[in-house]
Amino acid sequence: MARFSPLTASIPLLFSLMSASFTAQGNNQLPDIGTAGVAALPIEQEVRYGNAFMRFARAGLPVIDDPVLNQYIDDLGQRLLTNADGVRFPFTFFLINDPSINAAAFLGGRVKIHTGLFLYADSESELASVLAHEITHVTQRHIARYLESQASSTAMTLAGLAGSIALAVINPTAGIAALQTTLGLSMQSAINYTRDNEYEADRIGMKTLYDAGFDPSGMATFFQKLAAEYRYASKPPEMLLTHPLPETRIAEARARAASYGTRNLAPSLDFWFAKVRIQTRFGTERQAALLTFFEQRIAKGDYPQKDAALYGKALVLLQLKRIDEADLIMKDLASRHPEDLFILDGQTDIDLAKGRASQAIARLEQFRRRMPDNEVVVINLGNAYLESGNAAKAIAILDPYAREHEENSLTWGLLADAYRKAGRMEELHMARAETLSLRGDYQAAIDELIVARGTTSNKLSLARIEARITELEREKKALESLKM
């Protein structure tokens, strides 16, 4: 299931190869990894490489910044991690607006999930099975094992590999072809090498899935469905191109799930809320067609979660500017699910659309007293204060959150807008610099800090700006060395 063989393994492979060049200047060979290959890549270094990859991802992939979806996939991932062995650092789960059925794990616990995978899954256990599989690739250090297999790569090969990685991030199909040319590997040889990793990720991933309280048959069901639907397709999904599902793998998953026993779980409401949100906000179907779809499913009563269909209808109505109708549905949903963050976010959008910022603020402040560090609450509340014209209050809420969650680009963007509206130019340019640095655009970030430096004569502020410029210059140099 994981996109590990030549594509996902190659990105961390590039990182390790660059690391070798840092420590062995004239030596074109990788350090001797030996049988204890894990020791060749210290955890701290793996985390740094994962951070660098996120810069590449934000610059080259359509990362979705949606606080409700971010919260959902993070909660799902953390539930699995709590029940996984070998977790050595925090993980980051992020969503990519891509209709292909795929997910991928990278160094440093970075796991991307395509919207297509979300839409294809029919239960939370199916989706969780993919995340459990990806988590296992990281915790079992499969990437380090792949590095060991490539220990004889030459400097010339590495240069070609670097270009292939950059291409692979933007265009996976072309990137895989380039990697095969660069490394001289056939697709089949790469798949053969990682097959044991795949079975291990299935086995350990299913245990994690079960221990986290999900239905272990979700993995087998997902495998069977995927294999059956695309068995004779002229263009199967990318996941099957790099990770075929032979009958033995499907049979093993079925047998293993049976040994655990099936769990008859009720459909997860938040899973269906998330699926509907992706379908309505990031799908390709026209809003009018979606409205008809949800209305028909509500009338027939055959949607897995009726309230999710109602939520989908409300989102479509909101986008169609039929706000009063959306408002009635969302209020009805809130009466049954008063603590649900999907509903809270929807109510906020409707309140702001109807000019009821004060009502949204009052509700969100109540949530904030119970959930002071919740992304959905903080971002919605900061935005509501901005919409009400109270930039100072927005700053008071968003600034500490942004500094505590430095990789949250949505918060930095809102904070920059708040500083602009408050006329605080120094902080505006500093917030813009943070947003740019998260995309790896360090020179533009440094330029913003230089502008910020020109807006103040305060010695403490100047010292802080100079220190940040120095940090960004160091990060810029490190990132450029990885890009080669």
The answer to whether residue 161 scores a pLDDT higher than 70 is no
Catalogue the active-site residues: 134, 202
Which pLDDT belongs to residue 173?
59
pLDDT digits (tens, 9 = 90+) for 318-376: 999 999 999 999 999 999 999 999 999 999 999 999 999 999 999 999 999 999 999 99
Query: CB 36: neighbour CB atoms within 10 A?
Result: 9
Helix axis angle, 287-300 to 306-319, nearest 10°: 150
Which pLDDT belongs to residue 473?
96
Q: How far apart are CA 348 and CA 355, in angstroms?
A: 10
> Tokens in use for 88?
């050595």
pLDDT digits (tens, 9 = 90+) for 287-334: 999 999 999 999 999 999 999 999 999 999 999 999 999 999 999 999
Burial of 289 (0-12, 13-18, 19+ CB in 10 A): exposed
C-alpha pair distances (Å), 74 with each of 40, 82, 90, 110, 124 = 29, 12, 11, 11, 13
pTM as predicted: 0.85
pLDDT digits (tens, 9 = 90+) for 261-278: 989 999 999 999 999 999
Q: Report the amino acid identity of residue 419.
A: Y
Listed residue (96, 98, 92) closest to 408, CA to CA: 92
Pairwise pLDDT comparison (181 vs 272), residue with the higher score: 272
Burial of 464 (0-12, 13-18, 19+ CB in 10 A): middle
Q: How far apart are CA 242 and CA 235, in angstroms?
A: 13
Q: Phi, psi at residue 348, to the nearest 5°? A: -65, -45
Comparing 43-47, 160-164, 286-290, 368-372, the range with the smallest average pLDDT is 160-164
> Tokens in use for 184?
């001289």
Determine the Cα angle at 196 with ends 192 and 202, to 5°: 125
Which pLDDT belongs to residue 204?
95
Highest mean pLDDT among 12-21, 128-137, 160-169, 231-240: 128-137
Rg value, the chain, Cα: 24
pLDDT band with cut points at 50, 70 and 90 for residue 230: low
The answer to whether residue 158 scores a pLDDT higher than 70 is no
Pairwise pLDDT comparison (169 vs 226), residue with the higher score: 226
Cα distance between the two ends of the chain = 30
Query: What's the gap between Cα 203 and its chain centre?
Result: 24
Q: How far apart are CA 372 and CA 378, in angstroms?
A: 7
Which pLDDT belongs to residue 181?
58
The answer to whether residue 42 scores a pLDDT higher than 70 is yes
Helices and strands in the chain: count of H runs, count of E runs: 24, 3
Query: What's the gap between Cα 52 and its chain centre?
Result: 15
Pairwise pLDDT comparison (481 vs 382), residue with the higher score: 382
Q: Is 240 in contact with 230 (CB distance < 8 Å)?
A: yes
The answer to whether residue 437 scores a pLDDT higher than 90 is yes
Which pLDDT belongs to residue 318?
97
pLDDT band with cut points at 50, 70 and 90 for residue 10: very low
pLDDT band with cut points at 50, 70 and 90 for residue 101: confident
Q: Phi, psi at residue 219, to the nearest 5°? A: -70, -50
Mean pLDDT over 187-213 rounds to 78
Q: Phi, psi at residue 249, to the nearest 5°? A: -70, -40
> 110 by DSSP, 3-state: which?
strand
> Tokens in use for 22?
């840092």
Which pLDDT belongs to residue 480?
77
Q: Is 434 in contact with 412 (CB distance < 8 Å)?
A: yes
Question: Mean pLDDT, the chain, as a whole number?
Answer: 83
Pairwise pLDDT comparison (133 vs 168), residue with the higher score: 133
Burial of 373 (0-12, 13-18, 19+ CB in 10 A): exposed
Which pLDDT belongs to residue 199?
85
Pairwise pLDDT comparison (484 vs 106), residue with the higher score: 106
Q: How far apart are CA 314 and CA 327, in angstroms?
A: 7
The answer to whether residue 107 scores a pLDDT higher than 90 is no
Pairwise pLDDT comparison (14 vs 179), residue with the higher score: 179
The answer to whether residue 187 scores a pLDDT higher than 80 is no
Which pLDDT belongs to residue 193?
42
